[in-house]
Structure 1
């Protein structure tokens, strides 16, 4: 299959975006990348000559014609869902507005295709603020003139990093009985999945990793690798906590979504080779706060 003339990767210096950049660079793709920081620019220099620095959510003049001459846009733009990472901007600004601005530029420049990394739960009947921003952009993308593929990962191993941090602090909380299942994926494996759909693919696909585990099984693997005590929190207790006044809106929204994903089966198409145990075995425990 002939490779596209040029691919724009947004969110290029993030954990997933950077893996996409490295892999596509190794495969000979022509790349243009978008990052928001000088640190990101330095990180990307070995892999790409066309590096744009801008906040796509508000610096629209700085991203004007960023998609000119581009065949496919790959967006890994997204706010952190970690409970331990405070966000200086809202999910609406990053996950919706940034991507909408890129999409509008892509339509003006007759870009053929847009690959968007969304989130499992974007199609939920309940409007979780974390997932709702993705849902809003998915609607924009579906209504656009571009061909598209929306990837909804069921979860990243790095997204379970919060439990590893808690384990180092001696507690591993589980909401409910831990019977809900998932097949989370390593972001390096997901990067290879993304590239599969750069030229063509289904409109929406839910992506998972190679193995399915219950949340309790994963908690026990974390306990074995790091230590800590597993604490089961009844859903009614978690709901009571979520009903408290929202002094910290960002934290409350993340906690609400955390409860949602950890008490429901989150299964996607099996991909990749890296297991959760391998991820834990290679985790640098000294870097956990």
Structure 2
């Protein structure tokens, strides 16, 4: 049986991919960034590689057949990243890819984001796009998954709703079909051995941003606050003092004011996901 490296295994998506492949009996090597995170992975494998941006990642892919990378910086406004999106989303993935080439890895699956193909001037999709290009030029058989957005990526709106407000930028009519992270893990499993070069993927239901805000409102009994795009642009400009916040705000504004629709996949819907959210898990 082939051995698989999951990079970013302790993240929300990485953990779902780990669980899905563990259930299938695959031999796993799991990458994470700290001893604390290693502990939550120890049930699924005893081959765990701890490495951060300070490490070379040399031989992380030794004796590995397939790499799946779900590694990337947090896009949450409530999580402070110590490193830039370029340093994590591009540079660390590049180190893993270089090692994969040295160790003759057969296949590489990379979880990017929708927008990487046409909005590379923004920091977050741009960093993803740079790595996509490196992978495409690597000579390794690969699939690039571009989810339109994960349900877990909408936690910021739920956190704000706990504080009694839900921001909607512009008219709220932009559409999306965000996907549950467990459903996206199933997509990665489906294309483990072969698949399309690029797949833009979403969940089973399409909603406008306003419709999603209404669902969050009903769940948390919060108020929807409408923000003109011009006001959002001012906030983005003022945030340049912090590169991390600026990158997140410009990305948030872009994805919430443009249609972000991918090929439908999975069965879990957003309303059900909201009902299952435990308020105690939200800061």
Coarse TM-score class (shorter-chain normalised): over 0.9
Question: Of 10, 15, 33, which residue of structure 1 is paired with 2:30?
Answer: 33
Whether the 8 Å contact between 1:58 and 1:98 is mirrored in structure 2 is: no
Is 1:257 the counterpart of 2:254 in the alignment?
A: no
Whether the 8 Å contact between 2:120 and 2:129 is mirrored in structure 1 is: no
Residues of 2 paired with 1:226 and 1:20: CA distance?
29
Question: Which residue in 2 is equivalent to 1:73?
Answer: 67
Q: State how 1:191-270 maps to structure 2 within 5 Å.
A: 191-244=185-238, 246-270=240-264
Question: Which residue in 2 is equivalent to 1:45?
Answer: 42
Quickly say closer, same or farther: Cα 1:103–1:126, change in 2 above 3 A.
closer
Deviation at 1:198, TM superposition (A): 1.1
Question: Which residue in 1 is equivalent to 2:176?
Answer: 182
Is 1:272 the counterpart of 2:266 in the alignment?
A: yes
Bigger Cα displacement from structure 2, 4-13 vs 73-82: 4-13
Number of equivalenced pairs? 283
Deviation at 1:126, TM superposition (A): 5.0
Residues of 2 paired with 1:101 and 1:145: CA distance?
15
2:238 counterpart SS class: coil
Whether the 8 Å contact between 1:226 and 1:285 is mirrored in structure 2 is: no
Quickly say closer, same or farther: Cα 1:125–1:275, change in 2 above 3 A.
closer
Pairwise CA RMSD of aligned residues?
A: 1.1
Deviation at 1:125, TM superposition (A): 4.0
Is 1:17 the counterpart of 2:17 in the alignment?
A: no
Residues of 2 paired with 1:272 and 1:40: CA distance?
28
Residues of 1 paired with 2:161 and 2:42: CA distance?
36
Question: Which residue in 1 is equivalent to 2:55?
Answer: 59
- TM-score norm. by structure 1 comes to 0.96
Q: Deviations over 1:9-51 (max 9, x none)?
A: 0001111101111110110111111111112211111111211
Question: Which residue in 1 is equivalent to 2:167?
Answer: 173
- TM-score norm. by structure 2 comes to 0.98
1:33 counterpart SS class: strand
1:148 counterpart SS class: strand
Residues of 2 paired with 1:98 and 1:64: CA distance?
11
2:5 counterpart SS class: strand
Question: Which residue in 1 is equivalent to 2:81?
Answer: 87
Q: Deviations over 1:211-266 (max 9, x none)?
A: 00000000000000012111111111111222226111211110000000000010
2:109 counterpart SS class: strand
Please list every run of 5 or more consecutive structure 1 residues that lacks an aligned counterpart in the other structure.
none
Please list every run of 5 or more consecutive structure 2 residues that lacks an aligned counterpart in the other structure.
none
